[in-house]
Amino acid sequence: MFLFAAEGGGHHEPLIVEFINHYLGEPVHHFQMNYTRPIWDRILIPMGTTPEAVFGDYTPETAIPWYTIMFFIACILTMIVIWILKGKLSAEDPSSGQLTLEAGVLALRNLVVSVIGEHGFKYFPVVGTFAVLVLISNLMGLFPLFMSPTAHVSVTFALGIASFIYYNYVGISENGILAHLGHLTGPRLPLLLMLIITPLIFLIELFSNMIRPMTLGIRLFANMFADEQIAAIISGLFPPFTQVLVPVVLLPLALFVALVQTLVFTLLSMIYISEVSHAPHDHAHADEHHAKEHGDTAQVEFA
């Protein structure tokens, strides 16, 4: 976060990124020039731009972007951290790492249950993975030789798309595609109002759902990028003094931002799941109510 601020306030890529591109950049660059760049040429040139203008120069030194490497490291660190905290699980004599992990799991579990419901615990593994991965990614910028991958929009958009795909998968698998789309039509209205207002509600809700990956990604990216930029500018004011003293003062604030953004991303993902997921008794209730309505109608017609 603070170690890569040059005197002019710019960022310098971590050494690990340069090291990986030194050995793997050439073959990746060769693959890009022969396969992916022609595809982007066909897409972007008719739009009046070029791949270089969008992605930067194609060179072996930048063939593998820093945020890709950092996110890959974040995935590895996520597994390592959970393995270390888990240790050797024991009910009689739990270790401090196990107690820490249990406290985090219980807190997240209670949040899942309060937002989605008791039936939502089956989604806990995916929600928990989101929480740990985003938290590790946010915190990486606080350590030497690392940068936060969530400070780049490509990573946050990918996370937003993953959340979008998952909650739509939950909705379709639980309700069927027609009922899932029916969630977007709003409340039942009289026939005349339904013909006029329901299509409008459906279009608004469909648009609102389609931009959710963008809003999730931009929210997380904007906060983490701003945190990185402010830290880089401040630490570059009067080096080396500001590079040593200022980070100590700003570290609690950076930690707070990382925790809050993890909570916001995870909480919004849970809210989206809660909109399309229902407890089993809710489905049974709806079927019973539907059957009762049909029964009452049949009795009236018979009378």
User: With bands split at pLDDT 50, 70 and 90, how would you rate the model's confidence at 281?
Assistant: low
Q: Which SS3 state, helix, strand or coil, does residue 263 take?
A: helix
Q: What are phi and psi of 39, to 5 degrees?
A: -65, -45
pLDDT, one tens digit per residue, over 123-148 is: 988 898 889 999 999 999 888 788 89
Q: Is residue 212 domain-resident? A: yes
Q: Is residue 165 domain-resident? A: yes
| CB-side neighbour CA atoms (13 Å) of 295 | 6
Q: Which residues are within 8 A (CB) of 223 and not within 5 positions of it... i.e. 6 or more apart?
A: 257, 260, 261
Q: Is residue 99 domain-resident? A: yes
Q: Is residue 181 domain-resident? A: yes
What is the C-alpha to C-alpha distance for residues 193 and 198, in angstroms, rounded to an integer?
7
* Number of separate helices (H) and strands (E) present in the chain: 12, 0
Top mean pLDDT of 3-17, 21-35, 116-130 is at 21-35
pLDDT, one tens digit per residue, over 243-268 is: 666 667 778 888 899 999 999 999 99
Which pLDDT score, from 0 to 100, does residue 299 have?
40
| Closest to 139 in 3D by CA, of 126, 151, 148 | 148
Residue 303, pLDDT above cutoff 70: no
Residue 271, pLDDT above cutoff 70: yes
Residue 155, pLDDT above cutoff 80: yes
Higher pLDDT among residues 239 and 138, named by residue? 138
Q: How many domains does the chain have?
A: 1
DSSP per-residue codes, 131-200: HHHHHHHHHGGGSTT---GGGSHHHHHHHHHHHHHHHHHHHHHHH-HHHHHHGGG-S---HHHHHHHHHH
Q: Which pTM value belongs to this model?
A: 0.80
Q: How many residues are recorded in the chain?
A: 303
Please say whether the beta carbons of 160 and 216 come within 8 A. Answer: yes
Q: Is residue 36 domain-resident? A: no
Residue type, 249: V
Q: Is residue 8 domain-resident? A: no
Which pLDDT score, from 0 to 100, does residue 87 have?
62
The end-to-end CA distance of the chain, in Å, is 77
What range does the domain containing 228 cover?
66-302
Residue 113, pLDDT above cutoff 80: yes
Residue 54, pLDDT above cutoff 50: yes
Which pLDDT score, from 0 to 100, does residue 186 have?
77
Read off the pLDDT of each residue in 144-157 and give the average, rounded to a whole number.
90
What is the C-alpha to C-alpha distance for residues 108 and 96, in angstroms, rounded to an integer?
18
| Closest to 82 in 3D by CA, of 124, 123, 132, 121 | 132
Q: Is residue 56 domain-resident? A: no
Q: Is residue 94 domain-resident? A: yes
